[in-house]
Amino acid sequence: MKNSITKPIKNLPTLMARLSIPVMKKLNLFLSIFFLLLSIPGKAQETKYQPSWTSLRQHHTPQWLMDAKFGIYCHWGIQTISYQKGKENLSNDELIKQFKGEKFDADLWANLFETAGAKFAGVIGWHGSDFKHWDSGLSDYNSAKMGPKIDIIGEVFKAVRKRGMKTLVSYHSIKNDDWIDFAKEGVDKYEPDIFWVDASFGGTKGAHGEKTVSRSKYIGQAKSTTQAFQEKYQRELIAYFYNKAIERNKEVEFVYKSNDIPPSVGMRDLENGILPETAYDVWMTDMDMNVPPDFSTHGWFYREGIPLRSANSLVDMLVDVVSKNGIFLLNIPPMADGSFPEEVTNNLTQMSKWLRQNGEAIYGTSPWFIYGEGPNDIAAGNHIFHHNNHFAQIAYDKADIRFTSKGNDLYATVLGKPEGNLTIRALNTAFKLREGGITRIIHLASGKQVAFDHNDKALELKLNNVELDEMANVFRIELR
């Protein structure tokens, strides 16, 4: 049999002439479509946000933030000076003169953040006065031109980014409508990955759940001329922030207090607060390392003599928050000179050791069907879970267990050191897991495989040969 492919083609010129007309038509059609596509606005223009809640609701929380779970920021500024004994009544101008930051080193800060296990980090940009913490072109009343002569945001961001971490800036002081100009300047100049605004952005953290809203619910006991920040400016700023991120091909998040803006526009934050149940939208808590004895000594800045949360407490809160679909943002207080107290670095070092051994149960995880089990409940606190842990009221112990999941693995974290065997009632064979559904269980810190019994009453782990941690203990339950 002859190979037809090698057979000569007869009348080739005639054949080419016949083909030329449809080929040219196809070519012309292709070129027409190509140039039409060039005339259509690009993706960034198509997805541009309008300053309306309907448009802004199209935003989605970035996956990197949902995976990060843990971040750190710092309250540092002239208020740190005002909390020193005998300096409580100094004017802002005098405080600025004394705010020198002579031991400030952004690289040391960023190294501490990274070592602790944080995946994003930053610093307050504006808090409590008109004094800004960046090199502003709109006002000379800032830390780059006065006081320490340091562009605090700029230096911290540069050091944080050098380590491959995401950045956060927080704005707390809203006194006039021109606040939006300073906020936009921060977005333009520093390109934060997370823009976090305090309660003064909306002032509504105490207003939800009420049939009527009194003025004091929004803006406290301020003068009658004081107004809450205008809604149109809220929408304008958030749209500006999101659109700038599109231009820069960045995925960012806007974080706000409780009910300051409508749902699904950004990420809700609870100040020193923890939810009692799993939330179906990712949320954040900003938790202060300080544990003040009362509200009069509460301030987020360093204050000599105020106790700090222990590493054990920080780990327990991190695990609890993550199990409920939350992000844990920790405030650590630098001293006035820009250095950190030894207790702060010691606590973060202990926390980092725990995360190195057990981080797979935190980073990149998802919540499970239920957050956990145990006897200790979360109190509502004031402002609906805001401030319910201002004074370390929330107590955890070895009977409290929290769940997270990743891939085909379920993580059970015991918030303490179990005594004897560990019984997990929620993981019985009558609920979500069935007999034979577990292939093996590993204690993460020691790497040891754990023997177990699994029945319709509970999952029981045999721990007699396992070296347990004094802090939280994590067990990876590998499922079929």
Chosen CATH of 401-479 out of 3.40.109.10, 3.40.640.10, 2.60.40.1180, 2.130.10.10: 2.60.40.1180
pLDDT (tens digit per residue) in 166-211: 999 999 877 778 899 999 999 999 999 999 998 678 765 444 444 4
Q: What are the start-end ranges of the E strands in 107-164?
A: 120-126
Task: Kindly report the number of other CB atoms within 10 A of residue 68's CB atom.
Answer: 21
pLDDT (tens digit per residue) in 40-92: 444 444 569 999 999 999 999 999 999 999 999 999 999 999 999 999 999 99
Query: Strands 422-424 and 409-414: what pairing?
Result: unpaired
- More confident position, 14 or 55: 55
Lowest mean pLDDT among 257-271, 380-394, 462-476: 380-394
Among 104, 107, 99, CA closest to 77 = 99
Local structure of 306: helix, strand or coil: coil
Sign of CA dihedral 288, 233, 210, 295: positive
Instruction: Report the side by side order of strands in the sheet with 459-462.
Output: 422-424, 459-462, 451-454
pLDDT (tens digit per residue) in 90-149: 999 999 999 999 999 999 999 999 999 999 999 999 998 899 999 999 999 999 999 999
Q: Which helix (H) or strand (E) holds 315?
A: helix 311-323
102-135 burial code (b ≥16 CB/10 A, e <16): eebebeebbebbbbbbbbbbbbbbbbbbebbbbb
Q: 3-state SS of 377-400?
A: CCCCCCCCCCCCCCCCCCCCCCCC
Lowest mean pLDDT among 216-220, 372-376, 407-411: 216-220
User: What pLDDT is recorded for position 21?
Assistant: 44
Residue 418 has pLDDT above 80, yes or no: yes
Q: Which residues 6+ apart lie within 8 Å of 307 measured at CB?
A: 290, 291
* Measured distance CA(402)–CA(278) in Å, rounded: 11
Lowest mean pLDDT among 11-15, 108-112, 225-229, 283-287: 11-15
Question: Which tokens in the block code for residue 134?
Answer: 């960046």
Among 454, 473, 310, CA closest to 398 = 473
In the chain, what are the domain boundaries? 48-207+216-367, 401-479
Among 162, 134, 163, 129, CA closest to 148 = 134
User: What pLDDT is recorded for position 28?
Assistant: 56
Q: What CATH number is given for 48-207+216-367 in this structure?
A: 3.20.20.80
Confidence band, pLDDT 50/70/90 cuts, at residue 31: low
pLDDT (tens digit per residue) in 332-357: 999 999 999 999 999 999 999 999 99
User: Percentage of the chain with pLDDT > 70?
Assistant: 83
Q: Would 48-207+216-367 and 401-479 be classified into the same CATH topology?
A: no
